[in-house]
Amino acid sequence: MTPETRSFPGAKRPDRSYRHNADGVDIAVYEWGTESNPALFLVHGGSDFAGTFDVFAPLIAAAGYRVVAWDHRGHGDSEHAPLYGWDADIRDALSVMSAVTTKASPVIAHSKGGALMMQLADSCPYRISAMVNIDGMPSKRRMPDVPDHDQSRLLADSIGSWLDFRHEAAASERKPGTLVDLAQRRGKMNPRLSVEWLEYLVTIGAQQDADGWRWKLDPTMRFGGFGPWRPEWASLRMAALTMPFLGLLGTFDEPMGWGARPRDVLPWIPSSGRLEVLEGIGHFIHIEEPERVSTLILEFLS
């Protein structure tokens, strides 16, 4: 079967793609730009994949960078791993980055990728020369106004539901649909992005089987809504960073965003950095306005 294709203005598939073995997990890596140029790493967010940089990455590469991105384990074309975890994601990142260069390099990271890279920058400051964090600066989450006993019940339900799912995880698979179906589903999570873009994403982030399209994201990756990690821990790490730092924040809340507001983030911006608030933009800042954002970032990096 020849998969349906879509094009999108400005979108360019990577110049190179290859596989990388990260401690036994097969990771898909992509590069834009001349291989001999200095490396710059792009890091995607949760439930995303490197192809979401298809417009943004070429703009950065055109400025003279070897832009390297990868699909996180369980995402895009990387292997569906048996286990997933924050430390494992960071370790995979370090493994991919080390295979490209051991020199300190600039990193541009979005959403969960931003929080991951702040932890990497905190533990390995010698690996990152400059950090751009695109709406990946979680702060103390605003809790809904529900009584304690209701919160306990919701947590109990959430844990029970997650445990139930673990029993069935081995047999789980993503729901098939038409290309348009998948774009519409994703549109619920990305309400500010155009239909044309979402349909393009389906053609590079989903696979077409006999019964329809399915997102490649590992269906066993269901987040439980509980755990010991606290979003504000990312703020503590951010405040301690010493490399040049640029934080970008939009002003529209979206389902896949952290809900962080400028007043939540500003107190934690490191002394080496600044926060830029882009009015009228949502969580996917670099996708909504790739030209404006790439210009801003390239000025910062220069």
Partner 1 sequence: MNTVMLQHNKVTLALHEVRPGTGRPLLFLHGLGESAAMMSALAVDWDGPVWALDFTGHGDSSVPAGGGYSSEILMADADIALRHIGEATVVGRGLGAYIAFLIAGARPTLVRGAVLIDGPGLAGGAIHATSNSEITSGGDRTGTTPDPWALIELSRDARPPTYTTTFARLAVSGSGIADPIAVTCKVSPPWVEAIRAEPGVMIDITLQDALDIYAAV
* Residue numbers at the binding site for partner 1 (CB under 8 A): 22-25, 73, 80-85, 87-88, 90-92, 94-95, 98, 119, 122-124, 152, 155-156, 159-160, 162-163, 166-167, 169-170, 220, 224, 226-230, 233-234, 236-237
Nearer to partner 1 among residue 190 and residue 220 (C-beta): 220
Closest to 110 (Cα-Cα) out of 32, 187, 180, 56? 56
Torsion from C-alpha of 178, 179, 181, 186, nearest 10 degrees: 150
Least distance (Å) between residue 239 CB and partner 1: 10
Least distance (Å) between residue 170 CB and partner 1: 5
Least distance (Å) between residue 172 CB and partner 1: 9
Nearer to partner 1 among residue 180 and residue 240 (C-beta): 240
Neighbours of 53 (CB within 10 A): 27
Nearer to partner 1 among residue 264 and residue 288 (C-beta): 264
Assess contact for 61 and 92: CB atoms under 8 A: no
* C-alpha–C-alpha distance, residues 27 and 37, integer Å: 22
Least distance (Å) between residue 100 CB and partner 1: 14
Nearer to partner 1 among residue 189 and residue 236 (C-beta): 236
Nearer to partner 1 among residue 167 and residue 188 (C-beta): 167
Q: Please name the helix (run of DSSP H) or strand (run of DSSP E) that holds residue 205, with its range, or none.
A: helix 195-205
Angle, in degrees to the nearest 10, between helices 112-123 and 86-100: 70
Least distance (Å) between residue 244 CB and partner 1: 19
Assess contact for 116 and 109: CB atoms under 8 A: yes
**For residue 174, what are its two tokens?**
């993503």
Assess contact for 52 and 121: CB atoms under 8 A: no
Least distance (Å) between residue 5 CB and partner 1: 32
Least distance (Å) between residue 26 CB and partner 1: 9
Nearer to partner 1 among residue 37 and residue 101 (C-beta): 101
- Per-residue b or e along 163-178, where b marks 16 or more CB atoms closer than 10 Å to that residue's CB: eeeeeeeeeeebebbe
* C-alpha–C-alpha distance, residues 68 and 65, integer Å: 9
* C-alpha–C-alpha distance, residues 260 and 140, integer Å: 8
Nearer to partner 1 among residue 82 and residue 191 (C-beta): 82
